[in-house]
Structure 1
Amino acid sequence: MTTTEVAEKLVQYCREGQHTQAIDELYADNIVSREPKGSPMELTEGKEAVKGKTEYWYASVQEVHSGEVSDPVVTGNFFAVTMDMDVTYKEGGRMPMNEVAVYEVKDGKIIAEQFFYNMG
């Protein structure tokens, strides 16, 4: 798959709430995932660890009120999307989240992802 095809497929999965399927199909085994400095999951390496991080996040959520994922912006082997969510967490209450996610693709698989958002 091209970078554009990977980007479009990831956005489709995210909009459908199929994050685990996206990881299974689109992520490389040696994926590197980065969150903002100081976050509990600042660096996660490997497909299974990234899947575990995603499942942990979903387990912490009480209710997703709304969520939007932008169309991807693609250049070379990179693409970016914005993600806006309104979520109530089991601990911490309701919180809006706005983030930019940047992905790197190699050989038709996502090899790196990095999320940019304000913490707290």
Structure 2
Amino acid sequence: MTTKEVADKLVELCRQNKIDEVLETLYADNAKSIEASDMMGPREVEGLQAIKAKSAEFQADVEEFHGATISDPIIAANSFALIWTLDATFKGRGRMTMEEVCVYQVKDGKVILEQFFY
């Protein structure tokens, strides 16, 4: 898959709330994830299984989901970025609206790096 194809598929699946499918089909086994802070879990994890665990932990922390918007991707060579806004109530933290810039690197048709800025 090209970077554009990966980006378009990731956005499509995320808009359908199919995060597990995104990870299973679009991520490399050795992918890396970097958060802006430790507010949403570990700042840095490496490997698909660790990213899946981090995602599951995040989803378990959501008490109630109120909505989300995901922009169309901006693509440049082997990278793409998008804006993701999430409105959710988190256990012990209450309702929050989060807006983040998500940046992804693609190699050989798979996401090898995700990095979040919020």
AA at the equivalent of 1:7: A
Question: Which TM-score applies when normalising by structure 2?
Answer: 0.96
Q: Which residue pairs with 1:16 in the alignment?
A: 16
Pairing 1:105–2:106 present: yes
Q: Percent identity?
A: 47
Q: What's the CA shift for 1:83? A: 0.2
Pairing 1:86–2:78 present: no
CA RMSD of aligned residues (A): 0.9
Q: Which residue pairs with 2:3 in the alignment?
A: 3
AA at the equivalent of 1:59: A
Pairing 1:48–2:49 present: yes
The one-character-per-residue Cα deviations of 1:41-67 (angstroms, maximum 9, x if unpaired) are: 110100011011111001000111010
CA distance in 2, matches of 1:37, 1:19: 21
Q: Which moved more, 1:4-13 or 1:29-38?
A: 29-38
CA distance in 1, matches of 2:20, 2:85: 19
Count the aligned residue pairs. Answer: 117
AA at the equivalent of 2:52: K
Q: Which residue pairs with 2:70 in the alignment?
A: 69
Q: What's the CA shift for 1:91? A: 1.3
Question: Which TM-score applies when normalising by structure 1?
Answer: 0.94
SS state at 1:8 partner: helix
CA distance in 2, matches of 1:68, 1:45: 27
SS state at 2:92 partner: coil
CA distance in 1, matches of 2:117, 2:82: 11
CA distance in 1, matches of 2:77, 2:9: 17
Residue 55 to residue 38, structure 1, CA distance change in 2 (3 Å):
closer
Q: What's the CA shift for 1:2? A: 0.2
Structure 1: which 4+ aligned runs deviate by more than 2 Å?
37-40
AA at the equivalent of 1:33: S
SS state at 1:91 partner: coil
- Unmatched tracts of structure 1, length 5 or more: none
Q: What's the CA shift for 1:38? A: 4.5
CA distance in 1, matches of 2:89, 2:102: 21
